[in-house]
Amino acid sequence: MRLKLGISSSVVTLFLKEVRRFWRVSVQTVAAPVLTALLYLLIFGHVLEEHVKVYEAIAYTSFLLPGLIMMSVLQNAFANSSSSLVQSKMTGSLVFLLLAPLSHLEIFTAYVLAAIVRGLCVGAGVLVVTVWFVPLVFAAPFWIFCFALFGAAILGTLGLIAGIWAERVDQIAAFQNFIIMPATFLAGVFYSTHSLPPIWKTISRLNPFFYMVDGFRYGFFGASDIDPLESFSIIFLTFLVLAAIALRMLKTGYKLRH
């Protein structure tokens, strides 16, 4: 059976199951990241507000907030798909997913959509809680939506790849601590790449996370280090590459069928 939009009821069922999984513990999966972002804003904003000026007429705390929102979106989208798959492996419930009449494309769609929902929920929560402390404008809402959506999709896909590869929780933790966290913190969340020496500016441009943060920030202020169309082209290509890898892993049953 398929819905009018062409999405099978099986995909919807798996998607809803994944959404309910993180929402049942929303204090941990949604409220805690929002609190963490609020603390970052209060601490860094208080310490650096008078010492850092990135764009004219934009206070540092205002500059910082979009970066914190996108950081929260990315980290939580990754956490959702990666943790779900690893837990399914460890509890043995993965076999039921593999036996269900779902194609590799349908499994991919359900997991990534659920990761997007969690990432956007956390991002919206950070915005709602912090906007009372920081003046913001919405110069280009279309770009805000596009970069948030595709940023969450990329990290949801990357989380799916990590979850397929990993066999234990500590492997996911290592993936997050040594790849996701550094890439996020070095993506211009707390600074503009214009303030970096040339060598570090070049290295930053090799980090796809940078284009997600920079493009997302453009949606608020109409100012960024890179043209938003160029940034979006890069992250769209990144999504296609990662999606192809994830779909290939699901289709071949890499580390899923023993």
The domains of the chain are located at 9-252
Q: 3-class DSSP state for residue 59?
A: coil
Q: b/e per residue, 138-156, with b = 16+ CB within 10 A?
A: eebeebbebbbebbbbbbb
- The pLDDT of residue 49 is 65
φ, ψ dihedrals at 6, nearest 5°: 90, 5
* Cβ proximity of 167 and 89 under 8 Å: yes
pLDDT along the chain (258 residues), means of 10: 62 95 94 93 73 69 91 96 93 86 93 97 94 85 97 97 93 93 88 81 90 95 91 97 97 84
Give the separation between CA 182 and CA 201, rounded to whole angstroms: 15
- The pLDDT of residue 210 is 95
Q: Kindly state the DSSP code that residue 2 receives in the 8-state scheme.
A: B
Give the separation between CA 228 and CA 72, rounded to whole angstroms: 20
Chain-centroid distance, C-alpha 85 = 17
- Which long-range contacts does 159-162 make (Cβ < 8 Å, 24+ apart)? 159/77, 159/78, 159/79, 159/80, 159/81, 159/82, 159/83, 159/85, 159/115, 160/81, 160/82, 160/85, 160/108, 160/111, 160/112, 160/115, 160/246, 161/242, 161/245, 161/246, 161/249, 162/78, 162/82
Name the pTM for this structure.
Answer: 0.92
Counts for the chain of helices (H) and strands (E), in that order: 12, 0
- The pLDDT of residue 4 is 46
Q: Kindly state the DSSP code that residue 103 receives in the 8-state scheme.
A: -
- The pLDDT of residue 115 is 98
- The pLDDT of residue 51 is 56
Give the separation between CA 40 and CA 16, rounded to whole angstroms: 32
